[in-house]
A and B are shown apart, each in its own frame.
Chain A
Amino acid sequence: MPRRARRVATAAAVTLLAALPLAGCGAEDDRGAAPDVTPVAEAPAAGATDPATVDGGAAHGLSGTDLAWLQLMAPMNDRTLLLLELVGESGDDAELGAFAGELALTHAEETTRMREILDEAGVPDTNPHEGHNMTGMVTDDELAEIAAASDVDAAAREALHEHLAQSAMISGSAAENGSDEATTALAAELAETREGQLASLEALDA
Chain B
Amino acid sequence: MTSPPTSRRRTRNRLLTVAVAGAAVAALQLTGIPGAIAGDDTEAAPEPAGEVSAQSYGVAEFLAECEFSHRLPDDPIVFPGLPGASHMHSFFGSPVTDAHSTAADLIEAGQTTCDPLVDLSSYWMPTLFVDGEPVEPQQATFYYLGEGVNQDVTERIQPYPEGLLMLAGNAVAGPDDPVIARWSCLHAGEVEPSKDFVNCPEHSALESYLDFPQCWDGVNLDSPDHQSHMAYPVAGECPETHPVPVPKMRQVVRYPVNGDPSRFELASGPGYTMHADFINAWPQEELERRVRDCLNAIVKCGADGNPL
Contacts and interface: CB of A to CB of B under 8 A. Distances in A.
Contact of A57 (B17, B99, B223): B223
B117 A43 contact: no
Interface string A167-206: 0011001101110000000000000000000000000000
Given A31-B59, A35-B58, A11 B82 contact: no
B285 interface: yes
B21 A68 contact: no
A132 B171 contact: yes
Nearest to B296: A43
Given A59-B224, A67-B224, A37 B98 contact: no
Contacts of A131: 172, 174
A177 B61 CA distance: 39
A24 B308 contact: no
Given A43-B155, A68-B80, A169-B84, A23 B297 contact: no
A10 B13 contact: no
Nearest to A14: B111
B1 interface: yes
Contacts of B218: 49-50
B224 A27 contact: no
Interface in A30-64: 30-32, 34-35, 37, 39-40, 42-44, 46-59, 63-64
A68 B78 contact: yes
B163 interface: yes
A170 B269 CA distance: 22
B257 to A, nearest CB: 20
B83 A135 contact: no
B59 to A, nearest CB: 6
Contacts of A51: 161-162
B221 A39 contact: no
A44 B95 contact: no
B241 interface: no
Contacts of B52: none
Contact of A44 (B22, B72, B158, B174): B158
B176 interface: no
A40 B155 CA distance: 7
Tell me the interface secondary structure of chain A in the complex: loop
Contacts of B78: 68, 128
A42 B58 CA distance: 18
Considering residues B21, B156, B174, which has the most beta carbons from chain A within 10 angstroms of its beta carbon?
B21
Interface in B34-93: 44, 54-59, 61, 63, 65, 67, 69-70, 72-73, 77-87
Number of contact residues on A: which range applies? 35 or more
Interface string B286-301: 0011001000111111
B28 interface: yes
Contact of B95 (A11, A48, A65, A134): A11
A6 B72 CA distance: 10
B24 interface: yes
Contact of B17 (A20, A30, A69): A20
A6 B98 contact: yes
B302 A64 contact: no
B7 to A, nearest CB: 9
Interface of A: 1, 3, 6-7, 9-11, 13-14, 16-17, 20-27, 29-32, 34-35, 37, 39-40, 42-44, 46-59, 63-65, 67-69, 72, 123, 128-135, 166, 169-170, 173-174, 176-178
15 contacts: A1-B1, A3-B100, A7-B98, A7-B109, A13-B5, A23-B18, A34-B58, A37-B297, A44-B156, A49-B159, A128-B225, A132-B268, A174-B82, A176-B81, A177-B82
A-B complex: 4 closest residue pairs judged by Cβ atoms: A177-B81, A56-B220, A10-B95, A57-B222
Given A49-B244, A56-B229, 20 more contacts: A1-B83, A16-B67, A17-B112, A21-B17, A22-B302, A24-B21, A29-B308, A31-B59, A40-B155, A40-B297, A43-B292, A53-B161, A54-B219, A56-B221, A57-B77, A64-B80, A68-B81, A69-B82, A72-B79, A135-B87
